[in-house]
Amino acid sequence: MQDDTRVARRLMETYAAGDADGLVECLADDWVMHDADGSTSGAAELADITRLHNAAFPDIRVEILHEATNNELVAHHVVFTGTHRGPYLDLDPTEKQVRLEEMIFHRMKGGSIAESWRLTYPESMYEQLVEPER
C-alpha cells in the first residue's frame, strides 16, 4: 500500500477512534475540506467534530468499501456507523443507530492530506436522530 493511501486510511481510522490529535497529524497545515454545499472547513473544525462525535457515538466504526489512487489523489467510499450513547448538540442519548455513507477525495502532498472534497449521505447524524422511527 502506498504511503499516501496509508495516510488517507489513517484519517478515517482516527476519526472513528475519536483521536482528534491523530487526525490532525494526517493533514497539511493549510488543509481545507470542501463540502457539497460549497462550505469549507479547516483542521480545527474537523478536530472539534471528531471529539463531539466520539462523545455522542463512542462506538463509531468505519468500513472502507472502495479505495482508489491516482497520482496525488486518494479516493474513499466509506460507511460510518455508530450508536447514540452520549449527549449530541441538544439531544440526550437515544440509543439509535446512525449510518453515514461518504465519498471523499484527498489531494496528497508531501505525505499529508493537502485538500479534501466530501459528499455525505445523509448530510448529518442529527437528522437520523430526530426522525421518527419507521
Q: What is the mean pLDDT of residues 120-124?
A: 89
Per-residue pLDDT tens digits for 54-108: 999 999 999 999 999 998 999 999 999 999 999 999 999 999 999 999 999 999 9
Contact 3, 84 (CB under 8 A): no
DSSP β-ladder status, 112-121 and 27-35 = parallel
Q: Rounded CA gap, 56 and 94, in Å?
A: 10
**Biggest distance spanned by C-alpha atoms of the chain:** 47
Contact 11, 26 (CB under 8 A): yes
Q: What angle do CA 50, 54, 57 make, to 5 degrees?
A: 130
Residue 133 in this model has a pLDDT that exceeds 70 = no
pLDDT of residue 71: 87
Mean pLDDT of the chain: 94
Residue 134 in this model has a pLDDT that exceeds 80 = no
Q: What is the mean pLDDT of residues 41-66?
A: 96
Domains and CATH numbers, the chain: 3-130 (3.10.450.50)
